[in-house]
Structure 1
Amino acid sequence: MTSAALPIQTGDRRRRVMITPEGIALPVTVASRGARVGALVLDFLILFVALLVFTLLLGWIFGGVIDEIVDNADENISGAGEFLFIIYVIMLFLARYGYFLACELGPRSATPGKRMTGIRVASRDGGRLTAEAVIARNLLRDIELFLPLIFLMVAPSGDMGAAGFAGMVWFLIFMAFPFFNKDALRAGDVIAGTWVVEAPRAKLAETLSTQGAAKGTSGLTGATYQFGEEELSVYGEHELQTLERVLRDNNDEALVAVHATICRKIGWEPGAGDERAFLEAFYAQLRARLEGGMRFGQRKRDKHS
């Protein structure tokens, strides 16, 4: 089943409804351009401070070797100096690429800067954020940010010529790409099939982690929902997180759609009128099963695992 992101008819122009591959409608809010710029500035500030501390630490530990590298920059340096230089270059590479890749591939799909501004990276089809997508969107940062900045720094010197100015304009188009579309997508987002959305800080209702919810007793109808091992085994951590968002948003249409999807998947006959109690019970029991598996080193990341 294909997926799509549809606008919600409300006063907020950044609100969308995302249709997942399972046919579940999830309301999301596209992150503002200001929040994305703020997150990027914070991330670069974190990287700058980390590199400064790393450089000072190297200078304190290997001060003599560094002095040798500086004094003999045009001559042969010792093996220790070469090794230290290679370590520093590797650190710069990891800071430039590894920081964003590692953070966005984590469970929160966000760098510290994004987390502080309340946004995260997500797949536009509602599926799991893959490593290929994260790598693709981050590799294009050179074209979208670093190369335009380099051209802008060189431009005042007047040494670029007509070809240089044409290249600068070309790369500036990539830099300004988020202003050319309503979802504030970078070129990297377009290629990777991702977007950046707001990450709600609200927590699940307390009833989801109570014993009553785990037992699956509805406060509305008195019905008891108990699911067996075979029924709970069809879903993993990704689907649990999706269900968590649905319960948090408490959108009636989404609750009905998810309820019908789960019932169809596990072979139950979907009723009507008690969808939230059913989903709370399924969430609590699925979470308990997954947490129990983790204690024994067994993880089920998604329904395909």
Structure 2
Amino acid sequence: MTAIARHIDAKRRREVVTPEGVPLSITLATRGSRLMALVLDYCIIFLTVLIVTVSLIFIGINLEQLDSLDGGGGEFLLVLFFIAMFVLLNGYFIFFEMGPRGATPGKRMVGIRVAARPRGELARSGERLTAEAVIARNLLRQIEIFLPLSFFSSAGEGGAGSAWIVGSLWFATFMLFPFFNRDALRAGDVVAGTWVVEAPRRKLADVLSLASDESKRGVTDYRFGDEELSIYGEYELQQLERVLRDGDDKTLDAVHKAIVRKIGWQAGSGDERAFLEAFYTALRAKLEGDMRLGQRKADKHTQAQR
């Protein structure tokens, strides 16, 4: 990597501090990757719309052959079409970004995700991405993209006039918005308190796969009971996974101390990674076992729910 590339990468790095006081380093997604993800998502939406349209046309043709359209079948199919369009255009991004990955299929292909943005000078984070934030950032997309398109459509076939000028200015303002702030935030991110960060697909060590391999030293040396494991939930598991992927020795030591203090253990030093890998494996096994029983624990602040 050249010096220029390292400098550009460093400009996108941010450090946030969890409520436990653990510093975590993240990298903001590039504007190009966000644009590519948006294009991929709209391609998926377009293909889905095409499939739905062809399916409804096929159903309509069969209903016509059965002389069912006169009974209101045609109007019903038209209503279904508009409902499908509304759900796809408004619910696609909200549905996927409210999931545990915080990313649409397009974002996952590019390797980025939506995350809660820390507020204040201390840059403290650790909050979960809320449904309210996801809904807010995506509803604003209607204002950013689709509203100026309505101006363009009202401009007429001539492609000129005040409506076309207003639409162009509106579109340019929101499209260029990410270029005028250091975190590459779009207007929806500013309103919702979110940003988009890199989430590259990197495999954890084999110990994190839950495969039972007795030769893995350090994993089988620790045993945790339900009382220790019931303290944390799915959100903490995801954060621990990220620390094991990307964390340096300083971060691993800080997380190790935080977990040991939380579960009431007295652990030595020098084997922080082995301890954290063992705790990750045990916690993941417990949470997955609880999910099979219909119980989920979102984070350390909530009780397990059915």
Sort the TM-score into its range (normalised by shorter chain).
0.7 to 0.9
Q: From the superposition, tell whether residues 21 and 131 of structure 1 become closer, same or farther in structure 2 (CA, over 3 Å).
A: same
Correspondence for 2:81 among 80, 88, 101: 88
Distance 2:223 2:273 in 1: 14
Q: From the superposition, tell whether residues 290 and 243 of structure 1 become closer, same or farther in structure 2 (CA, over 3 Å).
A: same
Q: Within the alignment, does 1:45 sit opposite 2:47 as a pair?
A: no
Q: From the superposition, tell whether residues 66 and 253 of structure 1 become closer, same or farther in structure 2 (CA, over 3 Å).
A: farther
Query: Which amino acid in structure 2 is aligned with residue 186 of structure 1?
Result: R
Correspondence for 2:262 among 265, 273, 276: 265
- What's 1:147 paired with? 147
Correspondence for 1:246 among 239, 243, 246: 243
Correspondence for 1:117 among 107, 110, 122: 110
- What's 1:18 paired with? 16
**Contact conserved, 2:111 with 2:198, CA < 8 A, in 1?**
yes
Distance 1:166 1:214 in 2: 67
- Following TM superposition, by how much is the alpha carbon of 1:165 offset from its aligned partner in structure 2, in angstroms? 4.1
Correspondence for 2:278 among 277, 281, 295: 281
**Contact conserved, 2:290 with 2:296, CA < 8 A, in 1?**
yes
Q: From the superposition, tell whether residues 167 and 49 of structure 1 become closer, same or farther in structure 2 (CA, over 3 Å).
A: closer
Deviations 1:22-77 (A, max 9, x none): 3222221111111111111111111111111111111111137789xxxxxxxxx8
Distance 1:34 1:289 in 2: 39
Distance 2:41 2:282 in 1: 38
What pairs up with 1:51-200 in 2 under 5 angstroms?
51-63=49-61, 79-124=72-117, 125-152=125-152, 157-160=159-162, 165=165, 168-170=168-170, 172-200=172-200
Q: From the superposition, tell whether residues 214 and 198 of structure 1 become closer, same or farther in structure 2 (CA, over 3 Å).
A: farther
The answer for unaligned runs of 5 or more in structure 1 is 1-8, 68-76
- What's 1:4 paired with? none
The answer for unaligned runs of 5 or more in structure 2 is 1-5, 118-124
**Contact conserved, 2:151 with 2:166, CA < 8 A, in 1?**
no
Question: What is the alpha-carbon root mean square deviation over aligned residues?
Answer: 2.8
Query: Which amino acid in structure 2 is aligned with residue 267 of structure 1?
Result: G
The more displaced of 147-156 and 106-115 is: 147-156
**Contact conserved, 1:207 with 1:213, CA < 8 A, in 2?**
no
TM-score calculated relative to the size of structure 2: 0.82
TM-score calculated relative to the size of structure 1: 0.83
**Contact conserved, 2:60 with 2:74, CA < 8 A, in 1?**
no
Structure 1 counterpart SS, 2:261: helix
- Following TM superposition, by how much is the alpha carbon of 1:11 offset from its aligned partner in structure 2, in angstroms? 5.4
Structure 1 counterpart SS, 2:26: strand
- What's 2:301 paired with? 304
Structure 1 counterpart SS, 2:200: coil
**Contact conserved, 2:260 with 2:266, CA < 8 A, in 1?**
yes
Task: Give the total of aligned pairs.
Answer: 283
**Contact conserved, 2:37 with 2:107, CA < 8 A, in 1?**
yes
**Contact conserved, 2:38 with 2:106, CA < 8 A, in 1?**
yes
Distance 1:212 1:85 in 2: 57
The more displaced of 225-234 and 91-100 is: 225-234
Distance 2:147 2:62 in 1: 35
- What's 2:287 paired with? 290
